[in-house]
Structure 1
Amino acid sequence: MKYYMLTYLLTHDYMDRRGDYREEHLLLADDYYKKGLLLMGGALSRPADKAVLIFRSEMVNDVEAFVKEDPYVKNGLVESWEIRDWSVVVGVV
């Protein structure tokens, strides 16, 4: 299995706008979590300008599918996003 780090750059008004899409976003995240693809995720704070999600999958396509389905992305709360391969050397492998 491979690990991937998805990083979102959030809009300046993310905290004000996320309420309309939060439940749908969390349902999507929970679905990926239950499938064993999403290990953890959340927004950074002070400032809440980025979010980081850690995936474990054989293919990056699973992470790309999450991004395409995410209501935060579809509704413009994410200015940009990046998927990076993550070489885990300590911890759960």
Structure 2
Amino acid sequence: MKYVMTYRAVEEFLPLAREHGPAHVERLRDFHGRGALLMVGTFEEPMNGDAMGIFTSREAAEEFIAGDPFVLNGVVAAWTLRPWNEILQPAPA
């Protein structure tokens, strides 16, 4: 089981995202380095700041969201967290 987080950005997200981006990226790298965040990215169409991340556990996703500078500083208007059953997985090494 994985956990998919989605963010919906505020309408005027860009100035806030620029301001809080470095701390947000640092947090992303920390969680990825720990193996808790598998992948993350923004949606291209439409380019409105919305994003998605895939976490290895609900606890990791909730911890990330609770301390994310984008959430704490109003870049994110709303977020969701949903359990996701991964069907196609890499074969064990």
Q: Secondary structure at the match of 1:61?
A: helix
The alignment's C-alpha RMSD in Å is 1.4
Among 75, 88, 91, the alignment partner of 2:89 is: 91
1:48 equivalent in structure 2 = 47
Q: Which has the higher strand share?
A: 1
2:68 equivalent in structure 1 = 70
> Structure 1, unaligned stretches of length 5 or more?
none
- Tell me, in whole angstroms, the C-alpha distance in 2 between the residues paired with 1:88 and 1:62: 17
> Structure 2, unaligned stretches of length 5 or more?
none
Percent pairwise identity: 29
2:26 equivalent in structure 1 = 27
Q: Secondary structure at the match of 1:91?
A: coil
Deviation at 1:42, TM superposition (A): 1.2
Relative to the length of structure 1, the TM-score reads: 0.88
1:7 equivalent in structure 2 = 6
Deviation at 1:83, TM superposition (A): 0.4
